Structure 1
Amino acid sequence: MKKSHLGNLPVYTFSHFSSYPEIVHFSTTRNGGRSEGIYQSLNLGFHSGDKNTHVQANREVLANALDLQPEQLVFAVQTHSADVVRINADVLSWSDEIRREQLNETDALITNESNICIAVKTADCIPVLLYDPQRKAAAAIHAGWRGTVGRIVAKTIEAMQLEYGTQPEDLIAGIGPGIGPRVYQIGPEVVQIVHKQLGENHGFIQYLVSKNEHQKTPHLNLWKANRIQLRESGIRAENIEVAELCTFSHPEDFYSARRDGAATGRLATGIMIRT
């Protein structure tokens, strides 16, 4: 990924997505918004402890940068599930309450509608974007460790195949900023689940000496786990870009729940097909 801008808003973008002028995509930083204190400044997540008025103002900043009305910006209502929802033009007429109901327990969105930006929120979890340039369809995925072992990336690709006729070999994919394997220490119960659901042969878990510790502890590589799911689903290796930007290690640009606690801001990663 490279640093870029949406208008005056600082963002990161994938190099190979930029080859497709019919889409706009981004991963936000923590900069350019209205929130204060520990949420400074572009917190895009409600229910994080920040003032709702600040979050709403920040979403308007993002919508303005995209040259959209706020209702054209659609976020998943995330619960670390492996559920995928198709977004069509009906979403523009939904009230906030109906959106919460319809998108509840949803961690991936797919669409082939133009001028609707689908997005996910993260503060260490892994955001994944997909784009099918043949059928003009896109996906935004939130993949924490639970979503990863639930194979949410693979399920999203299956949903795009079913809904749009997407062929995996046509897809381009980007794995955005998230917690890196050098700092993402996990407990033995997560190790057991990862081995059971994803197998032990890919090296998703490494035993490393953590900071301030004198013994090796298990660390999970979510970047690699999701890249392997993309490959196993049929996406070409050359069509996958991994940012390898660690949210924990770059406090100047990113929020991190592991670093700062649950009361912190949320980044957004999204994609939109232009008219």
Structure 2
Amino acid sequence: MRKTQLEQLPVYVFSRFSGYPEIVHFSTTRNGGQSHGRYKTLNLGFNSGDEEYNVQANREILSNALDLKPGHLVFTVQTHSSRVAKITSEVLSWNDQTRREKLNETDALITNVPNICIAIKTADCIPVLLYDPQHKAMAAIHAGWRGTVGRIVAKTIDSMKQEYGTLPENLIAGIGPGIGPDVYEVGPEVVEIVHQQLGKNHGLIQYYPQKSDHQQSPHLDLWKANYVQLLETGLPEENIEIAELCTLSHPEEFYSARRDGAATGRMATGIMIRT
């Protein structure tokens, strides 16, 4: 990924997506908004403990940078599920309460509607964007460890196949900023479920010495886990870009729930077709 600006808003974008001028995509940083304290400054997540008026103002900043009305920016109500929702133009008639109800327990969005930006929120979990240039369809996916072992990326691609006729070999994919494998320590219960659901052959669990007592502790590579899923569904290796930007390790750029606790801000990663 490379750092750029949407208007005056600092964002990261995938180099692999640059050949498709019809799409606009982004991963925000923690900078450019009006929140304060631990939420400084571009917190885009409600229910994080921040004042709602700050979050609303920050979403308007993002919408303005995208040259969109705020209602055209569509977020999920994420719960680390593997549920995928299709977004149609009907979403523009939903009020905030209806959106929360319709998109509750949803961690991936797909759409082929122009000028609607689908987006997910993260603060260590892995954001994944997909674009099908043949059918002008796209997806935004929130993949924490639960969603990853629930194969949310593969389920999203299956949904795009069913809804839009997407062929995996035509998809372009970007794996955005998230917690890196060298710092993402996990417990034995996570190791067990990763091995059960994703197998042991991909080296998704690596062991690193702990600083305190030099014992080996397991770490999960969420970047690689989602990369492997993309390959397994049929995406060519050259169609996938991994940001390799660790949210925990860059406090000046990104929020991190593992570093700062759950009461911290949220970045956004989104995509849309511009007409």
TM-score by length of 2: 0.99
Give per-residue Cα distances to partners, 1:206-239, cap 9 Å, x unaligned. Answer: 0111333411100000000000000000001000
Q: How does 1:61-72 map to 2 (within 5 A)?
A: 61-72=61-72
Which amino acid counterpart does residue 187 of structure 1 have in structure 2?
A: G
**Distance between the aligned counterparts of 2:88 and 2:211, measured in 1?**
47
Which amino acid counterpart does residue 128 of structure 1 have in structure 2?
A: V
| Gap runs ≥5 in structure 2 | none
Does the aligned pair in 2 maintain the 1:49–1:264 contact within 8 Å?
A: yes
1:3 equivalent in structure 2: 3
Which amino acid counterpart does residue 140 of structure 1 have in structure 2?
A: A
Give per-residue Cα distances to partners, 1:56-114, cap 9 Å, x unaligned. Answer: 00000000000000000000110000000000100000010100000000000000000
For the pair 1:170 / 2:170, whether they are aligned, the reply is yes
Give the secondary-structure state (helix, strand or coil) at the position aligned to 2:120: strand
- How far 1:23 sits from its partner (Å)? 0.2
Q: How does 1:13-52 map to 2 (within 5 A)?
A: 13-52=13-52
**Distance between the aligned counterparts of 1:115 and 1:213, measured in 2?**
53
Which amino acid counterpart does residue 144 of structure 2 have in structure 1?
A: G
- How far 1:262 sits from its partner (Å)? 0.4
Give the secondary-structure state (helix, strand or coil) at the position aligned to 1:101: helix
Which amino acid counterpart does residue 154 of structure 1 have in structure 2?
A: A
Q: How does 1:27-176 map to 2 (within 5 A)?
A: 27-176=27-176
Cα RMSD (Å)? 0.5
Which amino acid counterpart does residue 114 of structure 1 have in structure 2?
A: P
For the pair 1:205 / 2:205, whether they are aligned, the reply is yes
**Distance between the aligned counterparts of 1:48 and 1:115, measured in 2?**
28
- How far 1:16 sits from its partner (Å)? 1.1
Q: How does 1:193-272 map to 2 (within 5 A)?
A: 193-272=193-272
- How far 1:18 sits from its partner (Å)? 1.3
- Size of the aligned set, in residue pairs, is 275
**Distance between the aligned counterparts of 2:215 and 2:253, measured in 1?**
31
TM-score by length of 1: 0.99
**Distance between the aligned counterparts of 1:121 and 1:115, measured in 2?**
19
Does the aligned pair in 2 maintain the 1:183–1:210 contact within 8 Å?
A: no
User: Which sits farther off after the overlay, 203-212 or 237-246?
Assistant: 203-212
**Distance between the aligned counterparts of 1:13 and 1:212, measured in 2?**
37
| Gap runs ≥5 in structure 1 | none
**Distance between the aligned counterparts of 1:264 and 1:207, measured in 2?**
28
Give per-residue Cα distances to partners, 1:184-214, cap 9 Å, x unaligned. Answer: 0000010011011111111000011133341
Which amino acid counterpart does residue 23 of structure 1 have in structure 2?
A: I
**Distance between the aligned counterparts of 1:265 and 1:211, measured in 2?**
28
- How far 1:159 sits from its partner (Å)? 0.2
Which amino acid counterpart does residue 100 of structure 2 have in structure 1?
A: R
